[in-house]
Amino acid sequence: MLDLPVRSELRCFSSKEVPQVWHLFRENIQRALDQGSDYTLADVYSLLTEKRAQLWTYERSAVVTSINHNMREKFCTIIAAGGHDMHKWLKYLPTLEEWAMSEGCETIRIYGRRGWSKLLGYDIDYTRMSKKL
């Protein structure tokens, strides 16, 4: 296990470090996924350990990002953001945005509650709706 004091700065863990710190953040990530996501906790863990997603932490809050692309653009998706006092990590959002730009991303996308739009100043492009059959 990594020695991980509570840090008051944003940190991104490597895929090799994730198994060592997962127990510290999985509950907060699960709570974020429970708010409405197509991902399971197992999906997120696999993405992180297979270098297809990134685990960013601030104190005990966690943000999971992934780099994706479609036919038109490369973009960063915030898959989950969970923890206590999440408003504290918002000061690091420009750091995530700069990192995404350095990775060649043109936009950041968040699939989450509409309330994030007002809090972050992001545009709502569309709302996903579904019906179980």
* Residue 55: strand, helix, or coil: strand
Mean per-residue pLDDT, 28-57: 94
- The answer to whether 112 and 97 are in contact (CB under 8 A) is no
Mean per-residue pLDDT, 37-55: 96
Mean pLDDT lowest among 6-20, 78-92, 116-130? 116-130
Owner of token pair 């408003």: 87
14, amino acid identity: S
Mean per-residue pLDDT, 39-61: 95
